[in-house]
């Protein structure tokens, strides 16, 4: 049934093109023809129920609408099959360009071949495919951040504490790692580089536990509660791959009667408003700004370049927005 609807929609689009119609048709987009008329942009988000991606998608919508585009933002519900359908629907509706936050990085090949076959300029965001995968299509660009950098900054936040993370003075930093979705390169590289910053600085480390929390606040709370019950005072540092999990972990830390920056350190990534408050109040050691507004701005900028005819080749298909370390000293700069 869906296929039939998609076919009908495509047929309607083709008819409207042959009618020489240069005005926007219903919900359909318009190809870029230099007359400045703006079409519809399809935005696919991996799931709406993600704290960081909520700020990001709101920002994308605001920027695109501010520039006069029509915008359709859809929720993939963390289901790649559903997102594939949404991409196909956007294509059959004739969107002018797509901005896609893939559900699974492993689906990148399929997404890229779909948008390539349709010839739709596409910006991938937040979940970075490999350079090889992206090289398959020259009207494709990735906008995100250098995930390794955020991990390094988390490690540096710990190195900058009075005892470099070794609260109990036993010569090593004992930590637990609460990981995002391990399929995601942000989760992989933050996990690796946060610890690498310590070992590169000559600090001995001991991993007490590593658990996937899938970027989720409740999972962060559960994991930290379990680990605090199991390892108690041995835990000196809790690394969380994002702030939402760190906020969850903070609840567990407080319930366990521990005090951040006194008997335990806690770091996240994103600089969500809630985390900025906790850094300010001394309940988080620090976080790393994952600049949602900066990335949304750059994604739209790259989309417009693609619409203007820019093409990309292997090796220059990723555009990075810098991360920024957030500590009690500079947290005020990031608060509204």
Binding residues for ligand BGC (CB under 6 A): 50, 52-53, 126-127, 180, 184, 186, 215, 242, 244, 269-270, 290
Helix (H) or strand (E) holding 319: strand 318-320
Q: Between 203 and 324, whose beta carbon lies closer to ligand BGC?
A: 324
Question: Which is nearer to ligand BGC, 39 or 129 (by Cβ)?
Answer: 129
- In the bound state with ligand BGC, the residue whose beta carbon lies nearer, of 167 and 240, is 240
**Dihedral angle at the C-alpha atoms of 289, 144, 199, 330, nearest 10 degrees?**
-20
In the complex with ligand BGC, the residue whose CB is nearer, 175 or 323, is 323
Closest alpha carbon to 292 in 103, 112, 149, 101:
101
Smallest distance, ligand BGC to C-beta of residue 70, A: 26
Of 30 and 219, the one with the shorter C-beta distance to ligand BGC is 219
Provide, rounded to whole angstroms, the least separation between the CB of residue 290 and ligand BGC.
5
Rounded distance between C-alpha atoms, residue 59 and residue 208, angstroms:
38
123 contacts 139 by C-beta, under 8 angstroms: no
Write down the least CB distance from residue 16 to ligand BGC, Å.
Answer: 36
Cα separation values, 29 from 69, 93, 98, 309, 335, Å: 9, 7, 11, 17, 37
Beta strands (DSSP E) in 61-215 are: 70-75, 97-100, 122-125, 140-144, 173-179, 205-212
Q: Where are the beta strands (DSSP E) in 119-273?
A: 122-125, 140-144, 173-179, 205-212, 237-240, 265-267
- Minimum distance of ligand BGC from residue 107's CB (angstroms): 13
For ligand BGC, which is the closer residue by CB, 128 or 236? 128
Nearer to ligand BGC, 69 or 193 (CB): 193
**Least distance CB 255 / ligand BGC (angstroms):** 23
102 with 115: CB under 8 angstroms? no
- Rounded distance, CA 217 to CA 292, Å? 19
Do the Cβ atoms of 231 and 202 come closer than 8 Å?
Answer: no
The rounded distance, in Å, linking the Cα atoms of 36 and 332 is 40
Minimal distance in Å, beta carbon 180 to ligand BGC?
6
Taking the complex as a whole, how short is the minimal distance between the CB of residue 160 and ligand BGC, in angstroms?
21
């Amino acid at each position: 049934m869906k296929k039939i609807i998609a076919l009908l929609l495509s047929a309607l689009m083709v008819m409207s093109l042959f009618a020489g119609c240069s005005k926007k048709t219903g919900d359909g987009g318009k190809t870029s023809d230099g007359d400045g008329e703006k079409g519809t942009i399809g935005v696919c988000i991996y799931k709406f129920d993600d704290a960081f991606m909520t700020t990001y998608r709101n920002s994308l919508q605001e920027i695109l609408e501010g520039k006069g585009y029509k915008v359709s933002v859809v929720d993939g519900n963390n289901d790649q099959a559903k997102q594939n359908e949404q991409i196909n629907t956007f294509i059959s509706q004739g969107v002018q360009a797509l901005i896609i936050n893939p559900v699974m990085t492993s689906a990148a090949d399929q997404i890229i071949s779909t948008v390539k076959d349709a010839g739709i300029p596409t910006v991938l965001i937040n979940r970075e495919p490999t350079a090889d995968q992206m090289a398959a299509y020259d009207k494709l660009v990735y906008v995100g951040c250098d995930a390794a950098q955020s991990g390094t900054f988390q490690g540096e936040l710990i190195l900058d504490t009075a005892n470099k993370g070794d609260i109990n003075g036993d010569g090593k930093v004992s930590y637990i790692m609460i990981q995002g979705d391990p399929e995601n390169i942000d989760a992989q590289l933050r996990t690796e580089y946060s610890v690498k910053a310590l070992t590169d600085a000559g600090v001995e480390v001991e991993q007490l536990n590593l658990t996937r929390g899938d970027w989720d606040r409740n999972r962060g709370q559960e994991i930290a509660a379990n680990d605090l019950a199991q390892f108690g005072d041995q835990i000196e540092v809790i690394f969380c791959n994002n702030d939402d999990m760190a906020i969850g972990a903070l609840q567990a830390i407080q319930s366990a009667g521990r005090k951040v920056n006194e008997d335990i350190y806690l770091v996240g990534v994103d600089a969500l408003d809630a985390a900025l408050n906790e850094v300010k109040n001394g309940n988080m050691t620090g976080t790393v700004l994952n600049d949602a507004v900066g990335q949304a701005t750059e994604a739209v900028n790259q989309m417009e370049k693609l619409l203007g005819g820019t093409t990309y080749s292997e090796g220059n298909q990723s555009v990075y927005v810098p991360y920024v370390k957030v500590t009690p000293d500079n947290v005020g700069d990031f608060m509204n």
